[in-house]
Amino acid sequence: MKGKMKKSVLFMLVLVMVLIITACSKDGGTATKDDDTIKIMYVNSGTLGEMGIGDIIMEALNDFAKETGAQVNVFECHADASLFAPTMRDVSSTGEYDLIVTAFYNMREAVMEAAERYPNQKIILFDSEIDFSGGKYPNVRSVMAKQNEPGFLAGVLAALLTESDAELANEEKVVGFVGAAENTAIQDFLIGYIDGVNYVNSEINVLYSFVGNWTDTARAKELGLTQFRQGADVVFAVCGSAGLGVAEAARETNNYNIGVDYDFALAIKDTNPRTAEHIVTSAVKDFYNITMNELESFADGSIEWGAHTIYDYARGGSTLVRNEYFDKIVPEDVLKRYEEITEELAAGKIEVGTAIGATQEEIEQFKAEARPFSR
């Protein structure tokens, strides 16, 4: 009981500080808000600045606030799971927010508990799914983007590059994948990646390994170096900020890297330009546009509550970043074939394998296709 009281008190103290900060205008005065101002609390389960989806959602929230005058407050849990449930309860109990925004699978239980206890509080959960069967949680909306589809496109591009005359491509038919942890979302990326490689050429070998977390850059670099030394000339890193270790491995071995969630090359081009030159692209679940779409629907009243929605590639749910490095690295013939395949995917002509809803046996069968095989 004492522990719970301490956490609640800690939350309220931090919340008061957040409200004081966000109530101040740029010139240090108090910002006046009309009664109809939309008030949003963003409960971030992690820490901002980690170059992930949490930062993308924050960017969208800030831009929405600029466009509409909405008031956006933030509470960061710094990956402390003991704060998830009490934070959601405490924010919901204030009755001050028109909307609570949060994200990721690790917040599901906290969202469901708060939604049940405070049925008038509207909550959007990004990058995870709520079970709304039986009319449960009519005040919640869950939103996802397909991660197997950007994984597929990364696999297509990796396969096309390894078989091309790109400057750093070698003669080996090998590409790689470094994931964070063997959870459903990461394995969904992997299955999509394997499908993409096989769509181009099923004789290409896909090496894969897992860091175990999203932050261990040294471990990710070690795994990347191993894969490059085993013949891979392109490695797809799906391990959050740890993926920068794979980018460093690509630079050291003179190979290519594909990042995830954020435009990795753009993020480090000023601080680490040599490494940025080895990042071909990044596979991004476009949570900026997804978040903006959802916020706009909330503002105009068209949003559907008690429902789950999925943004696929055709609906703008994901993309591979096209930047100066992509344009410099990717040969013209590779670009042409890549664009043809993206059009096929957008038209619904390609069905990408997925870990979502798959049994472990089915997932292992997908992984087995990472080795050379005949169609």
pLDDT band, very low/low/confident/very high, at 53 (cuts 50, 70, 90) = confident
Instruction: Give the domain ranges of the chain.
Output: 2-145, 148-285+317-368
**What's the mean pLDDT in 123-146?**
95
Amino acid making up residue 78: H
Mean per-residue pLDDT over the chain, rounded: 89
**What's the mean pLDDT in 213-218?**
92
Above 70 in pLDDT, residue 355?
yes
What residues are paired with 70 via a beta bridge? none
Above 50 in pLDDT, residue 30?
no
Q: Please give the sequence-ordered ranges of beta strands (E in DSSP) within the chain, or none if there are none.
A: 39-44, 71-76, 99-103, 123-126, 140-145, 174-179, 205-210, 234-238, 256-260, 279-285, 307-311, 318-320
Choices 3.40.50.1820, 3.40.50.1000, 3.40.1010.10, 3.40.50.2300: CATH for 148-285+317-368: 3.40.50.2300
Please, how many CA atoms are within 13 Å of residue 283, restricted to the half-sphere of its CB? 31
pLDDT band, very low/low/confident/very high, at 132 (cuts 50, 70, 90) = very high
What per-residue confidence (pLDDT) applies to 37? 93
d(CA 109, CA 255): 42
> What is the assigned CATH class of domain 2-145?
alpha beta
> Do 124 and 141 form a contact (C-beta atoms < 8 A)?
yes
Tell me the CA distances in angstroms from 9 to 3, 12, 212, 257, one per residue in order. 10, 5, 33, 45
**What's the mean pLDDT in 18-35?**
37
Above 80 in pLDDT, residue 127?
yes
**What's the mean pLDDT in 268-289?**
95
Same fold, 2-145 and 148-285+317-368: yes
What per-residue confidence (pLDDT) applies to 249? 98
Chain segment 88-113, per-residue pLDDT in tens: 999 999 999 999 999 988 999 999 99
pLDDT band, very low/low/confident/very high, at 372 (cuts 50, 70, 90) = low
Above 90 in pLDDT, residue 23?
no
pLDDT band, very low/low/confident/very high, at 20 (cuts 50, 70, 90) = very low
**What's the mean pLDDT in 296-322?**
95
Chain segment 156-189, per-residue pLDDT in tens: 999 999 999 999 999 999 999 999 999 888 999 9
**What's the mean pLDDT in 320-335?**
97
What is the signed CA dihedral for 110, 115, 118, 119, rounded to 10 degrees?
A: 180
Above 60 in pLDDT, residue 19?
no
Q: Which helix or strand (DSSP H or E) is residue 248 part of? A: helix 243-253
Above 90 in pLDDT, residue 25?
no
